[in-house]
Amino acid sequence: MIRYVCKSEDENVLLSSLLPGRLDIYTSTLRKLKVGGGIFLNGEPVHVRRFVHEGDVVEIDLSKAETPSQITPEPWLPEIIYESPGMLAVNKPAMSVVHPTCFHHTGTIAAGVVNYYNKTDLNSGIHLVNRLDLGTSGLLLFAKYGLVQERMKSQAASGEYKKVYIGVIDVPNGRNDIVPGFTGTVDAPIERDRSSIIKRKVGEGGDPSVTKYTILAADKQTGKALAAFSLLTGRTHQIRVHMSHIGLPLTGDTMYNPAYVETTEKISTEGPHQLLHHYRASFTEPLTAERVTVRCPVPENIAGSFPELFCEKSRTLTAEAEDQLSAGLFPAS
């Protein structure tokens, strides 16, 4: 429920103007609210053709703008990392599917989220805030309401919503520059690879794409390094394509790392996949305006390679590693 007390400047303003102007209610949500009866003035359901006066209380029930999900709930619950009145963040395991497709009808993360909504009597839809590749693990954010999803899209466009990934990369012999603290930026357009329906590549005709990365740890004996990534754009497979492009592909990536293409070697018990994890998300809560940062435990097949950087129980980065990450990706201006 969104609550707003009308001010003197709102005197004799129509609700149809007040809601998008003062409460930032998008047209699509407003249309559904009118049909669902989710607009209240001083506790009474009203139409948007009503005028308001100073001191009036306007309330919006966002659940009235939701339609039942067409995804069939399944009898299991996702691992919830964070929840607020408008947001839900769950931990997506690697090799799990986010939502039903023509190839995956059941066993999706979305089906577990629908089950959770049903068990907690939430009239909420499935509104994805971000997406993760099949082999990528970590934070998967859902907006409980369409309006919240729209506000998160605006934050993504403005840079207010920031995502941090952690991954293991292969370092070729001779790359002596890949040491802790090294930071780089890949600015290269990404386009579809015509040889595949899902593969991408760097190409002049692609969309502008920028990835920033910093090295947190490096092991010359194994030829592996732990890197953190920040996306300035959001293209399909962006981190995987960019890191492969600069000769530092993600360990286990069967699409972009030549060492693992067509491999059957297991990277974990779930099968071969890129060692990439959506670790941290920072955003402003769309309904409360509170600034929050959410972290997701890093899987053992990543954290175990560089255990000194992680807290043993939580499998999140140590304070020192967090400082190193922030200094590399988000240096003070």
**Active site amino acids:** 133
Q: Give the strand pairing for 162-170 and 137-143.
A: unpaired
Rounded Cα gap, residues 291 and 164, in angstroms: 16
- To 10 degrees, the CA torsion angle through 255, 257, 262, 265? -120
Q: Are 79 and 91 spatial neighbours (Cβ–Cβ below 8 Å)? A: yes
Nearest partner of 278 among 251, 301, 297, judged by Cα: 297
* CB-based burial label for 205 (10 Å; 0-12, 13-18, 19+): exposed
Secondary structure class of 264 (helix, strand, coil): coil
Find residue 183's DSSP bridge partners.
214
Q: How far apart are CA 62 and CA 1, in angstroms?
A: 6
> Encoding tokens for residue 177?
């520059």
- Kindly state the helix (H) or strand (E) to which residue 224 belongs, with its residue range: strand 224-231
Helix H segments across 128-285?
146-158, 238-245
